[in-house]
Amino acid sequence: MSLKSFVRELREMKDGIGSISKRGEEGSRHWRNRTMSHIAPDQEPSPLELIQQGRWANLPPELLLDIIRRVEESETSWPARAVVVFCASVCRSWRTITKEIIRTPEQCGRLTFPISLKQPGPRESPFQCFIRRDRATSTYLLYFGLVPSEDEKDKLLLAAKRVRRAAGTDFIISLAADDFSRASSTYVGKLRSNFLGTKFSIYDSQPPCDPAARQNSRSSRRFRSKQVSPRVPACNYSVGTISYELNVLRTRGPRRMQCIMQTIPVSSIQEGGTAPTPTSFTYSIDDHLSSMSDSMRKDSTTKDFGSKIQSEPAVRASDESLVLKNKAPRWHEQLQCWCLNFRGRVTVASVKNFQLVAAVDQSHNVSVEEQEKVILQFGKIGKDIFTMDYHYPLSAFQAFAICLSSFDTKPACE
């Protein structure tokens, strides 16, 4: 069987694979409507599934390894790359081999599985994405690509919904555009602001993979542990803060912001440094409870176990945490406005536009080139359409959360 015919047959299996996806029968209904592809969970297949997958599950490992490697090398961009996800959804043996072949976005410069959205981006060329804002539903959709396509079949990466509270605003971040429940398996994190919209906290649905960062990251429950499956994480973990400088004198100029990434060490941008890279979403409530100290467990039981999280932790910039600052724009005399070089990715002037670079000092031994590299840039290109380009060491989730903070109202900063 040729590679082309094999890929064609995998595409024809799309509906069948959707029926054994993470959402079971519900997954098959959403498979054609969603551009986010999910991997089937590790569970024992039913007899019917064994009959349907028998001819695929019994392939020799050497042959299967060669086939999946060829598919991965040939399908490099979306939507064609969905075939790689189909391979991982066939059965457990296929999934194991596919996960061994697929490398992280930092290594290969490609987004494949949902966990790729929690992994650092490439070091060289940035991932270029765009955000579509829907004012009617207060939702924000992150797509992979330069600009929106005409057929509107762009690859959905993440979705966020804005929820107003008495003391601030929450942005619930999910893998699906139609499910923003904190008790859902598609929930990946949230962004919470204070009353003035000057400080934001980024919360992840799973703990940092770096043990050192995990000790500095405070957690709180999202819901009662008995309300959902044990496979769904029950806590929110603080992974970063975003601060906007107050404009007390009401002077004209762009917003000034600073981001403290608690789970990313400053050594990650040094020569030979690496950033924490999670490998899976598998983290259960039982694992969390077993790793909690008695004091933390007692403290969490005295708090509200509802969907609200604890008060914002007191996070301070340390020598170990990466700090990002917005790149200072220059004043253009002819245009009479502040300007930044977005290299053609931003076309509309807006107070929301920004570029972030690393804020380091000489003691960190970071090269000048790394200090001047734009790690994240965000800007407007049309009505309710914005671009988002991010580099290593940020992940898509972290970059999206930072950009969401720019959408919130900030009367004290403008």
Q: Is the peptide bond before 79 cis (omega within 30 degrees of 0)?
A: yes
* Averaged pLDDT, 263-290: 74
How many CB atoms lie under 10 A from the CB of residue 121? 28
Burial state string for 269-307 with b = 16 or more CB within 10 A and e = fewer than 16: beeeeebbbbeebebebeebeeeeeeeeeeebeeeebeb
Range from 45-49, 359-363, 369-373 that averages highest in pLDDT: 369-373
- Which among 79, 408, 120 is positioned nearest to 261, based on CA atoms? 120
Residue in this structure with the two tokens 């604890």, named with its chain if needed:
310
Distance CA 196, CA 313 (A): 17
Provide the 8-state DSSP code for 164.
Answer: E
pLDDT above 90 as % of the chain? 37
DSSP H helical ranges for 310-394: 368-372
Residue 413 pLDDT > 60, yes or no?
Answer: no
Residue 210 pLDDT > 80, yes or no?
Answer: no
**Residues 130 and 386: beta-carbon distance below 8 Å:** yes
* Averaged pLDDT, 88-107: 89
Distance CA 357, CA 334 (A): 27
Residue 50 pLDDT > 80, yes or no?
Answer: no
Q: How many residues does the chain have?
A: 414
Residue 165 pLDDT > 80, yes or no?
Answer: yes
Confidence of residue 188 (pLDDT cuts 50, 70, 90): very high
**Residues 161 and 84: beta-carbon distance below 8 Å:** no
For 215-238, the pLDDT digits (tens) are 555 555 554 444 444 455 557 899
Lowest-pLDDT range of 45-49, 315-319, 353-357: 315-319
* Averaged pLDDT, 300-322: 46
Q: What is the pLDDT of residue 36?
A: 43
| Cβ-proximal residues to 26 (8 Å cutoff; 6+ apart), any chain | none
Give this prediction's pTM: 0.77
Q: What is the pLDDT of residue 90?
A: 84
CA–CA distance from 253 to each of 64, 74, 353, 410 (Å)? 58, 48, 12, 14
Residue 141 pLDDT > 90, yes or no?
Answer: yes
* Averaged pLDDT, 179-203: 91
Residue in this structure with the two tokens 């619930």, named with its chain if needed:
172
**Residues 96 and 65: beta-carbon distance below 8 Å:** no
Lowest-pLDDT range of 38-47, 67-76, 261-270, 389-398: 38-47
Domain ranges of the chain: 55-102, 105-209+234-275+318-413
- Which among 222, 217, 223 is positioned nearest to 237, based on CA atoms? 217
- Which among 323, 321, 324, 320 is positioned nearest to 377, based on CA atoms? 324
Residue 295 pLDDT > 80, yes or no?
Answer: no
Range from 43-57, 79-93, 237-251, 296-310 that averages highest in pLDDT: 79-93
| Cβ-proximal residues to 275 (8 Å cutoff; 6+ apart), any chain | 106, 120, 264, 265, 268, 392, 393
Distance CA 211, CA 203 (A): 17
* Averaged pLDDT, 156-184: 92
More confident residue, 250 or 168: 168
What are the structure tokens assigned to 293, written together?
């100290």
* Averaged pLDDT, 10-14: 58
More confident residue, 229 or 70: 70
Lowest-pLDDT range of 78-82, 206-210, 246-250: 246-250
Q: What is the pLDDT of residue 42?
A: 47
* Averaged pLDDT, 298-302: 39
Lowest-pLDDT range of 188-202, 295-309, 360-374: 295-309
* Averaged pLDDT, 344-372: 88
Question: What value does the mean pLDDT of the chain take?
Answer: 77
Lowest-pLDDT range of 163-177, 313-327, 333-347, 366-380: 313-327
More confident residue, 403 or 249: 403
Q: What is the pLDDT of residue 263?
A: 92
Q: Which fold has domain 105-209+234-275+318-413?
A: Tubby Protein; Chain A (3.20.90)
CB < 8 Å & 24+ apart, contacts of 39-42: 39/85, 39/88, 39/89, 39/95, 39/113, 39/114, 40/88, 40/89, 40/95, 41/231, 42/92
| Cβ-proximal residues to 369 (8 Å cutoff; 6+ apart), any chain | none
N-to-C CA span, the chain? 63
Residue 344 pLDDT > 70, yes or no?
Answer: yes
Burial state string for 105-118 with b = 16 or more CB within 10 A and e = fewer than 16: bbeebbbbbbbbbb
Residue 145 pLDDT > 70, yes or no?
Answer: yes
Q: What is the pLDDT of residue 383?
A: 92
Residue 323 backbone dihedrals phi, psi, to 5 degrees: -115, 130
Residue 182 pLDDT > 80, yes or no?
Answer: yes
Lowest-pLDDT range of 37-41, 93-97, 112-116, 405-409: 37-41
Q: Is the peptide bond before 122 cis (omega within 30 degrees of 0)?
A: no
Distance CA 144, CA 400 (A): 12
**Maximum distance among all alpha carbons in the chain?**
73
